[in-house]
Chain A
Amino acid sequence: MVTLRCQLGWAKGMPGSLTETDIGPSVVSPLDRVTPPSCKRQMMGPLSFITMNWGACPGHTMVLQPSERHNRDWSHGRLGPWCSPTGSPAPLSCETGCGEGSWILVCRLLVPTQVSLLSMEEDIDTRKINNSFLRDHSYATEADIISTVEFNHTGELLATGDKGGRVVIFQREQESKNQVHRRGEYNVYSTFQSHEPEFDYLKSLEIEEKINKIRWLPQQNAAYFLLSTNDKTVKLWKVSERDKRPEGYNLKDEEGRLRDPATITTLRVPVLRPMDLMVEATPRRVFANAHTYHINSISVNSDYETYMSADDLRINLWNFEITNQSFNIVDIKPANMEELTEVITAAEFHPHHCNTFVYSSSKGTIRLCDMRASALCDRHTKFFEEPEDPSNRSFFSEIISSISDVKFSHSGRYIMTRDYLTVKVWDLNMENRPIETYQVHDYLRSKLCSLYENDCIFDKFECVWNGSDSVIMTGSYNNFFRMFDRNTKRDVTLEASRENSKPRAILKPRKVCVGGKRRKDEISVDSLDFSKKILHTAWHPSENIIAVAATNNLYIFQDKVN
């Protein structure tokens, strides 16, 4: 087994320079690829974020250190301001794209963690680390694959969860008059290890620490609250800032050591002195042991007192204050598991009606339930299913009809569902068919057998609404993501990739050619990279800022309207 040790620290200002007060060393062992499966998840890799190279003035290099002990949440200081870029951004055109203008890349946050550049068992000059992290690294350990992205209700914070159980929260840079172009940039605000890998002794199975979903609670005081869940456990995290610390204790001295009471001659009142801003994340509630199967969705109710968690066969309703009890509101587990043919794939509460929720199934159906009808909502109130198109029938019809995501519109009047090849918009008042169907990547319809073979047909793509419910977005393969404007019926395919992502560069629409003749900029279906898939995207609740997760990279794009 190969174990690497490295020392990580802060860097402020120009790369390579370190101020002593910033260094917070911690010896960690990065993820090792050559480990037997049983030890794989005990080690965590360093997590780092790099800002884009703005040209003359490289931005910050910040290297974060994960906590060494599993139950200790660490926090870090807030980043200093970015260096201002020299030169002005290029003029933008508004002819392409969806909506009002084109999409530009605001910032790309890399999460490289492989530290194989470091030699073994050596204390490494931290300058070398910073320099190496400035360059692009294309490798990434599996634990850094982003598994969920979510904006909070104001759009100020963006939370991402990854396969290693970590949650990273980004905060939007505050707008200022002289730096108007900086609008829409997100910096790391807080990082914490939300879930740890566990072992279920009863079944001799490992419980993955991958964060399946993150949901924000609306802000009610100065702290931020979010729910994060892995396969089995939901946790409520409180993210709070601290910018003052008390000084002048009587019984403790400045370092915190206890003073000998005999040496105390005077009494003083401790005062709060300002300090560098510190962001702490603490788990406030742990909702565990309620799900036998893997949790796939959580949804906060509009009453902000309850939420639901859905696994493959059951949906439970929780109260935020009570962690040892939950109500089971949907149970589709058959008495005989041999008869199981359908599982729950996603569930969500209505945005305004606290008694209504929907859940989707692997057979392409959506059920809307009203909790006032009965305690166990096994009988749906509405049942949405589109009759099958007999001309398109194949052995894979059922698999591609399995719904991977369901989202209410912000108005609460529509629901959007994503199955493998299409996105459908349903009106809540019409159950027999959707009102709109958009083909995401219909060119894959003839390749279904290959996609079944390499398991890509089971990929679960998510879909999002924009703030005004006029545009919907979803991901595809080859790092493409698609946007559909419901009003103008226009759609665009964009790519989130490193090659195309110079800062402030306009995203060029991409096209996949299906037929024989391939035009210059088109890409043929057979050249698509099916390992690069965009499953998770998020849209700012009020502005045209989107976050796209491509494996281990997070891209933030904004719509530039002059």
Chain B
Amino acid sequence: MIWRGTFSLFFVFFFNFFFQRLFIFGTERETEHERGRGRERGRHRIGNRLQALSHQPRARHGARTHRPRDRDLAEVGRLTDCATQAPHPSRCLKRVPGVAVLQGRMFARGLKRKSSEDAEDADGGVAGLPAAPSYTLQRQSLLDMSLVKLQLCHMLVEPNLCRSVLIANTVRQIQEEMTQDGTWRVVAPQAAGRAPLDRLVSTEILCRSGREQEGEGDCPLPDPAPGQAPRRPQSSPWGLDGSREGRGGFQKSLDHIFETLENKTPGSVEELFSDVDSSYYDLDAVLTGMVGGAPTGPGLPAFAPTAAAPPSSTCRSDLGELEHTVEILVET
């Protein structure tokens, strides 16, 4: 029977798929992230971003009324502290006194948004301190901080969904505002033929390419239609690494797969991936947790976290081929 043959081929392919994904991701990680795993990786990435941050003002603003170094260092200090101490609430209001004052001005009531008033703020700086940074810079740093928070998840305990949703909403709000301000560069959506994936074109890819360019400040965001939430910032534990697009397509294909296989417990399978969607695992952490002796269940569930791993950009083409093949199989 033809369909049965296809069915079994399907199964074989399905498992190969997982294996391949794991393998691909494994090699990918070695080449791209040689600095280490887990939280170290996050920290180093923060370092990169901070350097990028320090480049921003110089490129974007010509004349400045304050010295760039102080504020950058202050922001660096603040963000670094955040990265290293994010999971532990502590008395941090006195940590960076300069920033505390800045924040007093930053997010006071009646937050001013017009650029003309930014100049006013810059002119009327606090005596003895550099003038308050511009609103856009503060917004950018808040965005970075939020993305860092989304990344730094607890390794072994399930992350707090409420907190993640709130941070994600904040990120989305910032992105929407940046879009309205026109500070986001709209990029045409990627290859045709993937209409449902249009809005899944990843912020991260574009951000990564944007970061690599000198003096590039804000990350470009495609498709700023207010109806569609700009990306799934909340479902990107990697922040700015990894491709969402391939993964999104992969998810949808897998859903098709499971439907055709008439899975007996579609709910649980859906839960599996939906939880993966909404959770913010650090793949490195999960993998190290698994390798490090945490008990693993049966073979298939053991791959579930890794299935969450977004493939990086270089293996997107491979995944694209796989997806294509899967779609063919589904349609037969």
Contacts and interface: CB of A to CB of B under 8 A. Distances in A.
Interface of A: 37-38, 199-208, 231, 292-294, 296, 312-313, 333, 337-343, 345, 362, 391-396, 398-399, 402, 445-450, 452-456, 458-459, 525-526, 528-531, 533
A458 B166 contact: yes
A396 B107 contact: yes
B247 to A, nearest CB: 12
Contacts of A37: 155-156
Contacts of A313: 161
B169 interface: yes
Nearest to A398: B169
Contacts of A340: 165, 234, 278
Contact of B277 (A231, A292, A337, A392): A337
Interface of B: 78, 81-82, 85-94, 99-100, 103-104, 106-111, 139, 142, 145, 149, 155-158, 160-163, 165-166, 168-170, 172-174, 229, 232, 234-235, 271-272, 274-275, 277-278, 286, 289-290, 292-298, 301-302, 304-305
Contacts of B82: 453-454
B267 to A, nearest CB: 9
Contact of A204 (B90, B149, B173, B294): B294
B161 A455 contact: no
B48 to A, nearest CB: 20
Contact of B90 (A292, A395, A449, A531): A531
B310 to A, nearest CB: 14
Contact of B169 (A201, A341, A533): A341
Contacts of A292: 271, 275
B165 to A, nearest CB: 5
B301 A530 contact: no
A204 B169 contact: no
Given A340-B278, A531-B91, A449 B103 contact: yes
Contacts of B173: 395, 398
Contacts of A392: 109
Nearest to A312: B161
9 contacts: A204-B297, A341-B165, A392-B109, A399-B166, A446-B104, A447-B104, A454-B90, A458-B162, A526-B93
A204 B100 contact: no
A204 B103 contact: no
Contacts of B161: 293-294, 312-313, 343
B290 A204 contact: yes
Contacts, number: 166
B165 A453 contact: no
Contacts of B81: 453
A148 to B, nearest CB: 17
A345 B161 CA distance: 10
Across the A-B interface, give the 3 residue pairs with the lowest CB-CB distance, nearest first: A201-B297, A337-B277, A449-B103
Contacts of B87: 455
B110 A362 contact: no
Specify which of B86, B91, B139, B297 lies most central, judged by the most chain A CB atoms within 10 Å of its CB: B91
Contacts of B297: 201-202, 204
Nearest to A38: B294
Given A294-B160, A343-B162, A529-B91, 5 more contacts: A203-B304, A362-B166, A446-B104, A448-B107, A454-B85
B156 A206 contact: yes
Contacts of A448: 103, 107
A202 B304 contact: yes
Given A337-B277, A458-B166, A206 B157 contact: yes
B229 A339 contact: yes
A294 B89 CA distance: 21
A394 B103 contact: no
B275 A203 contact: yes
Contacts of B277: 337-338
B133 to A, nearest CB: 12
Contact of A398 (B166, B293, B301): B166
Given A205-B158, A292-B275, A456 B229 contact: no
A402 B166 contact: yes
B295 A362 contact: no
Contact of A201 (B139, B234, B296): B296
Contact of B110 (A294, A391, A398, A453): A391
Specify which of B93, B174, B278, B305 lies most central, judged by the most chain A CB atoms within 10 Å of its CB: B93
B91 A530 contact: yes
Specify which of A391, A454, A530 lies most central, judged by the most chain B CB atoms within 10 Å of its CB: A454
Nearest to A525: B93
Contact of B93 (A338, A396, A530): A530
Contact of B162 (A199, A312, A337, A452): A312
B235 A337 contact: yes
A462 to B, nearest CB: 15
B58 to A, nearest CB: 24
Contacts of A199: 294-295
B92 A450 contact: yes
A312 B126 CA distance: 44
Contacts of B169: 341, 398-399
B33 to A, nearest CB: 21
A453 B298 CA distance: 39
Contacts of B90: 454, 530-531
A338 B232 contact: yes
A395 B155 CA distance: 28
Nearest to A445: B109
A262 B174 CA distance: 86
B327 to A, nearest CB: 20
A163 B279 CA distance: 23
Contacts of A446: 103-104, 107-108
A456 B89 contact: yes
B107 A394 contact: yes
B307 to A, nearest CB: 11
Given A201-B297, A202-B301, A293-B161, A449 B286 contact: no
Contacts of A453: 78, 81-82, 86, 92, 145
A448 B103 CA distance: 8
A450 B100 contact: yes
Contacts of B296: 201, 204
B181 to A, nearest CB: 14
A458 B163 CA distance: 7
A337 B278 contact: yes
Nearest to B172: A341
Contacts of A341: 165, 168-169, 172, 229
Contacts of A205: 156-158
B305 A204 contact: yes
Contacts of A312: 161-162
B278 to A, nearest CB: 5
Contacts of B286: 204
Contacts of B290: 204
A39 B286 CA distance: 17
Given A453-B82, A454-B85, A455-B86, A399 B165 contact: no
Contacts of B110: 391
A345 B162 contact: yes
Contacts of B139: 395
A106 B156 CA distance: 40
Given A204-B305, A340-B234, A395-B170, A450 B275 contact: no
A341 to B, nearest CB: 6
A394 B142 CA distance: 12
A399 B111 CA distance: 16
Given A292-B271, A454-B89, A201 B156 contact: no
A37 B155 CA distance: 9
Contacts of A396: 107, 170
